[in-house]
Structure 1
Amino acid sequence: MGSFGGVSAEQYARFMGRFSTPLAVGFANVGLDGVGADARVLDVGCGPGMLTLELVKRRGPAAVSAADPEPAFVDATGQLCPGVDVRLAEAEHLPFADGEFGAALAQLVVHFMSDPVRGVTQMGRVTALGGRVSACVWDHAGDGGPLSTFWRVARRLDDDVRGEAGLSGAAPGQLVDIFRRAGLADVAQTVVECTVSFRDFADWWDPFLLGVGPAGRYIATLDGKEISRLEAALREELGEEAFTSTARAWTAVGTRA
């Protein structure tokens, strides 16, 4: 899996947690649909524990396991969710037994896997026969992700901006293709949305300066004048008053055959 090395759990939570925390509610609905009440569940690529906490609320800590390749995220999830079995591991090499879980979920992770098909294959391996495997990725390619405004304005100012549209699973049908190549059955695509409120422009903008993810790394390549220019253009786009932002994620679900 890709690395968030150098980014603290707190920084990640301030930047993406404001989107991934509400997303976890809808995604858990999808990932746990039809899964037996007594089944254990796994959060793959748990980050600092946004989805893990939602799963704990529904299943209790003893029924939830989690894995992430970043030690800081493993520690943060362990502190946030006492009693959960949290492992330091990549999705491509999950340290769990075959068929151990009734459901395996990966929220906003597949596009950072070094080998998405292998990662999802591993999710299927640790899921019981007939169990449910789910993953979601922001709609970066369709301009429906939480950072779409940022990338759209950045591209307007800089022709070399790549953004996140090319990441695996960011366009419709891509997650479904990955799931089918990973050998899962009954694969289907759904959409999960969430809405986030911001007090003002600064509430939205300031976490971009923390260096988190592709957006943070892009800003880190700019000099002070370029950052000010980008900020001014975004202010013009979004205004200074309170606003809400609705983001959607493509979701694929499948079963282990």
Structure 2
Amino acid sequence: MAFDVAAEAYGRFMGRYSEPLGPVFAEWAGVHRGDRVLDVGCGPGALTAELVARVGVGHVAAVDPSAPFVESVRARFPGLEVHRAPAEQLPFDDGGFDRTLAQLVVHFMQDPVTGIGEMARVTRRGGLVAACTWDLGGHRSPLDPMWDAVRRMDPLVSDESHLAGAREGHLAELATAAGLLDVETTELSVTVTHPDFDEWWEPYTLGVGPAGDYVASLDPRGREVLREECRSGFPADEPFEVTAVAWAVRGRA
């Protein structure tokens, strides 16, 4: 799935969670100076920024299928090698990277086993491949306050809990099927403080991802009903925290 939305919209919607997740994920993947690192499905650059900070722009490459995201990352990180391509067709030679990472991307790969296999192909023998995905299946993702409200209104709704890597153990299954060795898994979490309900809700109206598509599919009355149902789950007009949990997997190429 390509996110053909403005990078700024994605940043307001998911960047508030993916940006603090980046350092946690990069640390677990063991990224350190001297590594040549690839960011697969880089989006507007939440993880890319952390990788550049750790190893320098000349040691990082990035790829994403979304043209707006590629343009944004190119402008944000002058000199960075960036390509527009899906995970399943990485435009790199075999074994060119020490570590290849995919943050919040496996959910949207057309063929996750092929995508992770491509990540392994472009990683040197013995190098590390890592991916993380929100725990949508366990209802611990940053999107679940919204989807919980939708399910209260429509228990039969098709939400994001069926996506690849969304349930416990599925990332490891995909990584093993893709041929990774010494596969390990863990949970990663971040906690984000929202100043008020409106700041939390407004990005859902920007049409980003499946959640944004769902909100956009509602008529004005339906959106207002959903908004109020979401509001009932949070404190009124005061700051609150959302803790988001991601599954993570790593293995050797």
Deviation at 1:84, TM superposition (A): 1.1
Q: Which shifted more, 88-97 or 236-245?
A: 236-245
User: 1-side partners of 2:149 and 2:77: how far apart?
Assistant: 38
> For the Cα contact (< 8 Å) 2:33–2:54, is it kept in 1?
no
User: 2-side partners of 1:112 and 1:238: how far apart?
Assistant: 29
1:248 pairs, out of 242, 245, 248, with 245
Regions of 4+ moved over 4 Å = none
User: 2-side partners of 1:224 and 1:36: how far apart?
Assistant: 49
User: 1-side partners of 2:40 and 2:55: how far apart?
Assistant: 16
SS of residue paired to 1:249: strand
1:4-153 alignment runs, 5 A limit: 4-5=3-4, 7-31=5-29, 33=30, 37-153=33-149
Cα deviation, 1:19-52, whole Å, max 9, x if unaligned, reads 1000111011112x1x563220000000011100
Deviation at 1:160, TM superposition (A): 3.4
Residue 211 of structure 1 is matched in structure 2 by 207
SS of residue paired to 2:63: strand
Deviation at 1:80, TM superposition (A): 1.4
2:171 pairs, out of 175, 180, 195, with 175
> For the Cα contact (< 8 Å) 2:32–2:54, is it kept in 1?
no
> For the Cα contact (< 8 Å) 1:36–1:102, is it kept in 2?
no
SS of residue paired to 2:233: helix
- Listed as ranges, the gaps of 5+ residues in structure 1 are none
> For the Cα contact (< 8 Å) 2:168–2:247, is it kept in 1?
yes
Q: TM-score, normalised by structure 2?
A: 0.98
Residue 159 of structure 2 is matched in structure 1 by 163
> For the Cα contact (< 8 Å) 2:176–2:183, is it kept in 1?
yes
> Which one-letter code corresponds to 2:205 in the other structure?
L
Deviation at 1:71, TM superposition (A): 1.1
SS of residue paired to 2:62: strand
- Listed as ranges, the gaps of 5+ residues in structure 2 are none
Q: TM-score, normalised by structure 1?
A: 0.96
> For the Cα contact (< 8 Å) 2:95–2:122, is it kept in 1?
yes
User: 2-side partners of 1:38 and 1:226: how far apart?
Assistant: 52
SS of residue paired to 1:165: coil
Cα deviation, 1:109-136, whole Å, max 9, x if unaligned, reads 0010000000000000000011000000
> For the Cα contact (< 8 Å) 2:32–2:55, is it kept in 1?
no
> For the Cα contact (< 8 Å) 1:144–1:248, is it kept in 2?
yes
SS of residue paired to 2:215: helix
> Which one-letter code corresponds to 1:24 in the other structure?
G
> Which one-letter code corresponds to 1:207 in the other structure?
P
Residue 3 of structure 1 is matched in structure 2 by 2
> Which one-letter code corresponds to 1:25 in the other structure?
P
SS of residue paired to 2:42: coil
Residue 231 of structure 1 is matched in structure 2 by 227
> Which one-letter code corresponds to 1:125 in the other structure?
R
Aligned residues: 252
